Amino acid sequence: MKHIISIFLIIIQSQLLIAWGQNGHRIVAEICELHLSSHAKSEIQKVLGKNYLAEIANWPDYVKSEKGWDFAESWHYTTVHSNQTINQVISQYASDTKINDATEAIDLMLKILNNDKNAIEYFENLMKKNRAKPLNNSTKATALAFFVHIVGDIHQPLHVGKNKDHGGNKISVMFFGERSNLHRVWDTNIIEHEKLSYTEFAHFINKATESEIKNYQNSTMKDWANESISLRENIYNTIYDYTDRDSGLPSFSYKYTHDYTPLVKERLLSAGVRLAGILEGVFGE
């Protein structure tokens, strides 16, 4: 019975921490690949073997249900309360050797991709200690999968959350007449409402100008987090502008998707373009 309960809790926790949904992460990875040079693509393929960026983009979510990967659950989000700044959150973790959140996980994975020996040793020891199986038995492939995934995560506004409502998971809403929650609306419902494959979605929104690409890539992880904080506040402050009179719940349909789909597209696009800029720096000529 205890074993069954443990499995149930792991499944629930995994559902609470998923950002963008499967297609959202694939869209970010696909946009990234569209902005990579041939050389960078070739070098990345050497790391991934037969896998593609879009294929491994969801791997960190898949392994969350494996007991050995429990230690990485907090890597998919960061908590910044209303009375905090991202700088304060980063500072509070600075003296802790544990990888506590998405910001620290991104930093660690980037160091591994840049062949930092201490970072590689730390991650390998962590996996060995927890008996966590790496992707393709490769530390670098595993780091790349996490990096692609978590850069996407931090661009989902509700993954830079306040923690009390689990990034909107505890806020019940209606989406086109069906029960959902605020987090699921943002990670999955709005994207799937477009009725597009991830490749179609990525190509349709991949319209950034050279100036916009430069601005996207001339930013830091703190900038990405601060953008998400600002956007999440707007999301919270407007949910009851769309209310169903019968249920009293926020009710999202055509008006909500009209108002917020452009923002979802912009976050996916900016994540992909920024990811490409970093990976080009690591794997490019």
What pLDDT tens digit does each residue of the chain (285 aa) get? 434 333 333 333 434 445 678 999 999 999 999 999 999 999 999 999 989 999 999 999 999 888 899 999 999 999 999 889 999 999 999 888 899 999 999 999 999 999 999 999 999 999 999 999 999 999 999 999 999 999 999 999 999 988 788 889 999 999 999 999 999 999 999 999 999 999 999 999 999 999 999 999 999 999 999 999 999 999 999 999 998 887 889 999 999 999 999 999 999 999 999 999 999 999 998
The count of domains in the chain is 1
Using an 8 Å Cβ cutoff, are 57 and 18 in contact? no
- C-beta pairs of 106-109 under 8 Å, 24+ apart in sequence: 106/147, 106/150, 106/151, 106/154, 106/221, 107/221, 108/143, 109/143, 109/144, 109/146, 109/147, 109/150
Query: Residue 175's beta-bridge partner residues?
Result: 178, 252
What's the pTM value of the predicted model, to 2 decimals? 0.92
Residue 2: per-residue pLDDT: 37
Residue 267: per-residue pLDDT: 98
Q: Exposed e or buried b for every residue in 242-268, given b needs 16+ CB within 10 A?
A: beeeeeebbbbeeebbeebeeebbbbb
Q: For residue 95, what is the domain's CATH number? A: 1.10.575.10
Give CA torsion, residues 46, 152, 103, 183, to 10 deg.
-150
Residue 14: per-residue pLDDT: 39
Q: How many angstroms separate the CA atoms of 10 and 218, rounded?
A: 38
| Domain hosting residue 109, numbered range | 1-285
Residue 9: per-residue pLDDT: 37
